[in-house]
Homo-oligomer: A and B are copies of this chain.
Amino acid sequence: MTRATLLTVTAPTRPASADEHGADRAAGDAGFVLADFGAPQVRITDLGITRGDGVFETIAVIDGHPQALELHLGRLAHSAALLDLPEPDAAVWREAVLAGVADYRSRNGDGGELFAKLILTRGIEGEGRPSGWVFVDEGEDFSQQRLGIRVVTLDRGYRHDVAETSPWLLAGAKSLSYATNRAAGREAARRGADDVIFVSSDGYALEGPTSNVIVLADGVVRTPQTDQGILAGTTQAAVFDFFEERGYPTEYRRISADELRDAEALWLVSSVRQAAPITALDDREYPVDAALTADLNAYLLARTDLEHHHHHH
């Protein structure tokens, strides 16, 4: 039974000139088309599969609302720029996400937590034209993880300043080359844990494989500053809003692995799972303020981002 909605984004990136744009898309061409989720869609020579050469975003969709859509579109563009890909056409991707969500809900009903995944690749080798897809499906059930997760720290192997010294390592880009993130997850499972916090080779706390770290210590809520090859978190920004509304100071700065261990409370936050409180980091146990975390997740799930849609055409 195929329930998911798949769209092929036929015009995923902005043309170099207005003329080219005119040639690329006829009037009435939205730049995306419905496709068959159950059928193969990717050519075997697409660089997305042969080289993991592309970028992605995963967006939570709550009651039909794609959360932090503009932040995700901005991050897609940022990742694409780090990979020297052409600029994604934000208007096309935005409308594709909304159309995908509408199609999914028209077929499957309005309830539940969904997600939209956006994939932009460098395209078929030799053709010089990026490929794009959006798919919308039901999210995994993260209700248990929102009550608590066990986490281990793993060395990411890079110094904290690697994004500045070696930009070709693509630290901070949400690329399709995520095999090491998956391997870190398997290593965590071998150690009896649910997730990972990466630490730089010189001892700074960084991020999870697919999440940001929130640290509460001395009454201040902090997250590692993003100039360390860390993905700027769309959910982390909302978490800071939540705590600021409750009077907590918030701060971006370098956080040593030792500080992490000495924290009062820790969360991993991400778009679809939202906030998962950490009950154990390596061999240290943490008490969880269940009421605070429940409030946080209620806040995150209720977000409607009073965003304006900026149309560039």
Contacts and interface: CB of A to CB of B under 8 A. Distances in A.
Contact of A84 (B168, B180, B186): B186
A54 B179 CA distance: 8
A108 to B, nearest CB: 17
A56 interface: yes
A44 B37 contact: yes
The 5 closest A-B pairs by CB, nearest first: A52-B52, A177-B177, A42-B42, A177-B179, A52-B177
Interface in A35-56: 37, 39-54, 56
13 contacts: A49-B176, A50-B119, A51-B52, A52-B178, A52-B179, A84-B186, A157-B162, A158-B158, A168-B186, A169-B183, A170-B179, A173-B179, A176-B179
A165 interface: yes
A159 interface: yes
Which of A42, A46, A173 lies at the interface centre, i.e. has the most chain B CB atoms within 10 A of its CB?
A42
- For the residues of A in contact with B, the DSSP-based class is mixed
Contact of A187 (B41, B168, B186): B168
Interface string A153-177: 0111111001001111110010111
Given A51-B176, A117-B50, A176-B49, A170 B157 contact: no
Contacts of A133: 44
B44 A179 contact: no
Q: How large is the interface on A (under 10, 10 to 19, 20 to 34, 35 or more residues)?
A: 35 or more
Interface of A: 6, 37, 39-54, 56, 83-84, 117, 119, 121-122, 133, 135, 154-159, 162, 165-170, 173, 175-184, 186-187, 201
A188 to B, nearest CB: 9
Contact of A40 (B41, B170, B173): B41
A175 B179 contact: yes
Contacts of A43: 39-42
Nearest to A189: B84
Contacts of A53: 178-179, 182
A186 B44 CA distance: 23
A154 B47 CA distance: 23
A42 B162 CA distance: 34
